[in-house]
Amino acid sequence: MSVPELVCPAGNLPSLKVAVDNGADWVYMGLKDDTNARNFAGLNFDAASARAGLRYAHAAGAKMLLAINTYPQGLASPRWQRAIDSAAELGIDAVILADAGLMNYAAERHSQLRLHLSVQTSATNYEAINFYHERFGIARAVLPRVLSLAQVADVVKNTPVPIEVFGFGSLCVMVEGRCALSSYVTGESPNTRGVCSPAKAVRWEKHGDILDVRLNGILIDRFAAAENAGYPTLCKGRFNVEDETYYAIEEPSSLNAMALLPELANIGIAAIKIEGRQRGPAYVAAVTRIWRAAIDAHAQNPAGFSVHADWANGLARVAEGQQHTLGAYHRKWK
Amino acid sequence: MKLALGPVLYYWTREALLDFYAGVADSAADIVYLGEVVCARRHHLRLDDWLALASDLSASGKEVVLSSQALIESESDLRTLRRIVANGDFTVEANDMGAVRLLAGRVPFVAGPHLNIYNGETLAWFARLGASRFVLPLELSRDILRELQSARPAGMQTEVFAYGRMPLAFSARCFTARHHNLPKDDCQFRCLEDADGLALQTRDKAAFLTLNGIQTQSALVYDLSDSIGELRSLGVDVVRLSPQSRNMIEIIESFRERCAGRPGASLEGLRVAPPCNGYWHGVPGMEYRTPT
């Protein structure tokens, strides 16, 4: 049985501080540009705030990860390579990379720099993970949110690489790193620009009591007056298939795997990741505090573990959408 | 430039597949990619059937490549993958890094469109592993391709997806089974009903996407038939056409003519949906720009 480390998002310095204060073992962040997969206006770190964040984390015994997990295109790699150089110079504890060329660069130039395999690498099986391990010495791999618990267990059993899985937050339905839906509609995708369904392409239109939401002109959903209108992530809208209107790809629900904590610990998961660098400090504080409590409670008394009602309520209050799902961990979701 | 026929991405009956490839044997295609890329549950042709088909097409003068599954989740997927890699006769298209591990340093392979080769450094790394050809990721533009070509390693061939509904995403979830309210494990193979995928429209009835089991495709057909000259001047070696259930031989023929510098038959009326080419022009993929 493992005691999974808790890996929490930091979209800015205040979020980083509350993550550390509430018991994160690791915090992950990105630079203020398109080298990372949450390239949103007003988010992320420059060198000064990264240095301040690192001091804060280290003073509390936490570690800091820098996500450099978009794909440089054409001849653009040098700018991403400079981000890796900066991480090494700053003394960041590990970088999260997706692109093989960048991993190769990091392994050759900064052999002391610890590498984590980003979820954007789409590594869903141990052959893939072991390959990155052999070639670049990756120290951890984050699994895409598409595997069932049994499949996760099979990966863990067959790789020397410690495995990190998503525990909570917004849910990608598609294999991360292999989804171009956003660039199909808007020209910008997670792989190329670090965004999905970018806000600048969103348009809300009121027609009487009806509220339409479009992404670069494509109608993602239509809300009646009584309905909650959520952000138009393009795979979470209602569409028509054979004259039936429904959430054809996925409901606007978020992942919550807390009930599976005992299974994840039994499997030997090394770390649990909380999604949400785009969310504010209140979200980060609440989710970190609750997951810290749950992981500690489980470690102290595995047999007596259950999800406390106030944890569940606390997480429900900050979740995106009103629904929770176990996602692909639960085979029936597929 | 050579013409390649990509793997059939849909689930067709055994009879339909064999008929289709009988036509392909006599077609103008130079290279044929074979195999099940999308879903391991599809079984009308098993690996031995694909290998027999590969031998037949090879005897007809086609260069045959075996395509491996894009999303590999289970031990059973890995067993199939190992058998494909060990086939001994045909080049393999790796569509997952697990396949690359099994191929690297052993035999030359094709680095497929789902391996995320977005930049020159990654392309050079794949060349060192033994890739002899790579397929440009679908969302990349001609401008990015030009940069990649300027840094292309010696001996590396470049292939561009130039026709067909685009495979835009993969999931663990089967959207066809979901549509029919069936669990994936008991999907009843309902995707057999959709020879060119299941249409997903917006609520104001615009064609948007195509559901194909765990794969999500564009509704529109990516079509670079009017940019063949540009592909040639960029040093593209292979043009990939992705199969559809009808008119495919005519489409191959039109591309053959265009690759030879002749006008080629119009694809209007041959496509299963209107065209798009936005990615090529560096704009949203669903858009269509009149070639200059």
Which tens digit of pLDDT belongs to each residue from A143-158?
A: 998 999 999 999 999 9
Residue B33 has what pLDDT? 98
**DSSP state letters, A187-199:** S--HHHHS-SS-G
Q: Where on the phi/psi map is residue B76: left (φ > 0), alpha (ψ -120 to 50), or beta? A: alpha
Nearest CB to A123; choose among B97, B144, B208? B97
Residues 104-123 of chain B with CB under 8 A from chain A are 104, 114, 116, 118-123
pTM given for the model: 0.96
Q: Which amino acid is at A65?
A: L
Paired strand residues for B218: B209
B92-103: pLDDT as tens digits = 999 999 999 999
Measured between beta carbons, the chain A residues lying within 8 angstroms of B98 are: 125-128, 131
What is chain B's mean pLDDT, rounded? 97
ipTM of the complex: 0.97
Interface test with B, best of A69, A70, A73, A195 (most B CBs within 10 A): A73
**Partner A contacted by B171 (CB < 8 A):** yes
Q: Are strands B109-111 and B131-135 parallel, antiparallel or unpaired?
A: parallel
pLDDT grade for A242, boundaries at 50, 70 and 90: very high
A16-40: pLDDT as tens digits = 999 999 999 999 999 988 887 777 7
For chains A and B, count residue pairs whose Cβ atoms are closer than 8 Å: 218
Distance (Å) from the alpha carbon of B199 to chain A's nearest alpha carbon: 6
A219-236: pLDDT as tens digits = 999 999 999 888 999 999
Q: Which amino acid is at A161?
A: V
Smallest CA–CA distance from B102 into chain A, residue = A127
Q: Is A5-173+253-333 assigned to CATH 3.30.70.2200?
A: no
Distance (Å) from the alpha carbon of B236 to chain A's nearest alpha carbon: 15
Distance (Å) from the alpha carbon of B176 to chain A's nearest alpha carbon: 9
pLDDT grade for A43, boundaries at 50, 70 and 90: confident
Residues 6-65 of chain B with CB under 8 A from chain A are none
Measured between beta carbons, the chain A residues lying within 8 angstroms of B174 are: 334
A109-163: pLDDT as tens digits = 999 999 999 999 999 999 999 999 999 999 999 999 899 999 999 999 999 999 9
Residue with tokens 């690498």: A121
CB contact under 8 A, B202 and A219: yes
Residue A321 has what pLDDT? 64
Token pair belonging to B92: 């393999």
> Domain limits of chain A?
5-173+253-333, 181-246
CB contact under 8 A, A248 and B78: no
User: CA-to-CA distance for B136 and B35, rounded, in angstroms?
Assistant: 20
Nearest CB to A131; choose among B97, B150, B179? B97
B29-51: pLDDT as tens digits = 999 999 999 999 999 999 999 99
Measured between beta carbons, the chain B residues lying within 8 angstroms of A332 are: 183
Interface test with B, best of A127, A158, A197, A245 (most B CBs within 10 A): A127
Smallest CA–CA distance from B174 into chain A, residue = A334
Mean pLDDT for the stretch of residues B65-76: 96
| The 3-state secondary structure of B241-281, one letter per residue | ECCCCCCHHHHHHHHHHHHCCCCCCCCCCCCCCCEECHHHH
Interface test with B, best of A99, A166, A178, A202 (most B CBs within 10 A): A178
Q: Are strands B207-212 and B198-201 parallel, antiparallel or unpaired?
A: antiparallel
User: CA-to-CA distance for B231 and B240, rounded, in angstroms?
Assistant: 12
B57-69: pLDDT as tens digits = 999 999 999 999 9
User: CA-to-CA distance for A44 and B13, rounded, in angstroms?
Assistant: 51
> B141: which residues sit within 8 A by CB, 6+ positions away?
B279, B280, B281, B282
Mean pLDDT for the stretch of residues B158-166: 98
What is chain A's mean pLDDT, rounded? 94
CB contact under 8 A, A240 and B148: no
Residue A239 has what pLDDT? 98
What's the CATH fold of domain B2-165+221-270? Answer: TIM Barrel (3.20.20)
Distance (Å) from the alpha carbon of A332 to chain B's nearest alpha carbon: 7
Token pair belonging to A106: 């990091």
> How many residues make up chain A in this entry?
334
CB contact under 8 A, B203 and A244: no
Distance (Å) from the alpha carbon of B261 to chain A's nearest alpha carbon: 28
Closest by Cα among B171, B158, B109, B164 to A178 = B171
Interface test with A, best of B106, B139, B220 (most A CBs within 10 A): B139
